[in-house]
Each structure stands twice: as structure tokens, then as C-alpha cells.
Amino acid sequence: MAADDQYPFHGSGRMGGSENDLIAGVESGYESANFGVARNTSTDQGTPVHTKVFGAKTLLSHRVVDTAGENVGKIQEFMIDVSKGDISYAVLAHGGMLGIGDKLLAIPWPAFTVDPDNERLVVNATKEMLDKAPSFPKDNWPDMTTDEFCSTTYGYYGCELPRP
């Protein structure tokens, strides 16, 4: 797979303000309602910057695999930083059988890449790492805005903390 075929999630789906336009399009079998190209017209060189944009429903339907290509769970939710318009975490249900016994993991957005050719999300972790990852029960979600939660979670997955 070529480097251009991988689209890091962090920052690539940000839309808003007068600087960005959404150009609906069809590519790799995605319908225009689920796929588009963001054009940022505020570049220093005056050349538009294009990034891939996927609908949340499209991403929720994708398989999630680890770095070895093994299925590791299903995304349950995306946690949005509303002050920036960016995805902070994807909540992954992992480890159960048919939805029973799953534990929930908050995985930082930068730990994922999308593999559109195979319609899957790739998390930069091994199954063993996910098995040992900090988790939380479905009925008791943590406060994901605390400094402690952010530094622990981003650190566990080897991701840089987001800038304020």
C-alpha cells in the first residue's frame, strides 16, 4: 500500500470556519454522503491542501485491526474535542465474544490510520498491548478531559499529547 493510501485520522476530518470548504466526491466505492475532500484555501503558497474526509457511520462500520492485521474489536464511539472540532479518542470494544465481555478502551485518534482499500481501521498496537490497556466498564465512563487521563492514555499508545 502506498503512503498516499494511508490517511492519519488526527486533524484530517476537521471542518469549520470560513477557511475550509467541503467538496463531495466519490472515491474507492464510498458514496458522496460518506466521503469527501476537504480543501483548505488558507495555505501560504496559495495551493489548496486536500485531505480525505470520511463519515462517522462509514468509519464505525469498518473492521479494526492491530499492526499484525488481526481483528481486535469494533469502534463504539468517537469522542470529539468540541473546542477544536477534532476527534480526541475512538472508543474500542475489545476482548469479548459477540459483544459479551468486551472492555472499552479509549484510544487516542493519532494511534489510528485508515486503510480505505481494505475498509478497515488500523490501530498502532498489538493485540497483547490492547489486552493489557487501561479500560473502563460500559456503564462507568471516565472523565476523558482530565490531565491524568490524557497523559496516561496518550502515553500508553505512544502518542503526542494534543496542543491546547
How does pLDDT run across 86-143, given as a tens digit for each residue? Answer: 889 999 999 876 666 789 999 999 999 988 888 899 999 999 999 999 999 888 999 9
What percentage of the chain exceeds 70 in pLDDT? 66
Q: Which residues pair with 65 in a beta bridge?
A: 71, 122
Task: Report domain extents, the chain.
Answer: 3-54, 57-156
Do residues 67 and 6 touch, judged by C-beta distance below 8 A? no
For residue 52, what is the enclosing H or E element? strand 49-54
Residue 150 scores a pLDDT above 90: yes
Distance from C-alpha of 52 to C-alpha of 163, rounded to nearest angstrom:
22
Do residues 52 and 37 touch, judged by C-beta distance below 8 A? yes
40-61 pLDDT, tens digit per residue, is: 444 455 555 556 677 888 788 7
Helical ranges in 23-161 per DSSP H = 56-61, 127-131, 147-156
Long-range contacts of 34-40 (CB under 8 A, 24+ apart): 34/58, 38/12, 38/13, 38/14
Written as nine digits, the cell of 112 is 489510528
Range 38-73 burial, b when 16+ CB lie within 10 A, else e: bebeeeeeeeeeebbbbbeebbeebbbbbeeeeebb
CATH class of 57-156: mainly beta
18-38 pLDDT, tens digit per residue, is: 223 222 322 333 333 333 333
Closest CA to 128 of 81, 67, 40: 67
Q: What is the pTM of this model?
A: 0.68
Strands 120-123 and 112-115: antiparallel
